[in-house]
Chain A
Amino acid sequence: DIQMTQSPASLSASLGETVTIECRASEDIYNGLAWYQQKPGKSPQLLIYNANSLHTGVPSRFSGSGSGTQYSLKINSLQSEDVASYFCQQYYNYPDTFGAGTKLELK
């Protein structure tokens, strides 16, 4: 199985700040990567797919980048509604696997 290593595990940032979350795959996943946001008590919601494509309705302050084994999610101008946990997922190879998650809090 492809292992997804996500960092940091937790992150504290101020409103308006830019934050970056990283995800490293144990082998090349050829941009088969998605990012999900999970707000407290809610189900995950798709943010980014194919490493850098924004899902319908997702604010443009979210962006994804990367290639090969290294990927990142960037949130520009952090808003209070962005407080959530974020997960990466590879879907290049079966079985789909997730990163352990990053919990984002306001400073």
Chain B
Amino acid sequence: EVQLVESGGGLVQPGSSLKLSCVASGFTFSNYGMNWIRQAPKKGLEWIALIYYDSSNKYYADSVKGRFTISRDNSKNTLYLEMNSLRSEDTAMYYCAKRAGSGLFDYWGQGVMVTVSS
């Protein structure tokens, strides 16, 4: 059974940093691209970052480019999202999601909440 478990969220002040983690199990993590997708309260879904299976390529939404960094450790089956210079508009539930070959998201974690507020 595929499982993705996020952690690391919380309440932080504007301008601060936070690092999210996502531990994967139930599939060969090192074979798949992984993503972070967020959902602001009562809002829709926003893809924010993608990392290839071997970390050779990384892509970001314009809204987070230059502030967020996606990374992975295939030896630990873990995906990361380092978030810097956080803003109130970054307040959202953050999901990690496994990427199917064609680009869709076939499995999602339960999500971790990030609240940016003074």
Q: Which residues of A contact B (CB under 8 A)?
A: 32, 34, 36, 42-46, 49-50, 55, 87, 89, 91-92, 94-101
Contact = CB atoms under 8 A, between A and B. Distances in A.
Interface stretch (B13-21, B44-52, B84-92): B44-52
Interface of B: 44-47, 59, 61, 95, 100, 102-111
Given A98-B45, A98-B47, A49 B110 contact: no
A98 B102 contact: no
B105 A101 contact: no
Interface of A is mostly: loop
Contacts of B102: 32, 49-50, 91
21 contacts: A43-B108, A43-B110, A44-B95, A44-B108, A46-B105, A46-B106, A46-B107, A49-B104, A49-B106, A50-B102, A55-B106, A87-B45, A89-B105, A91-B102, A91-B103, A91-B104, A95-B47, A98-B44, A98-B45, A98-B46, A98-B47
Contact of B109 (A43, A96, A100): A43
Contacts of B107: 46
B103 A95 contact: no
B57 to A, nearest CB: 11
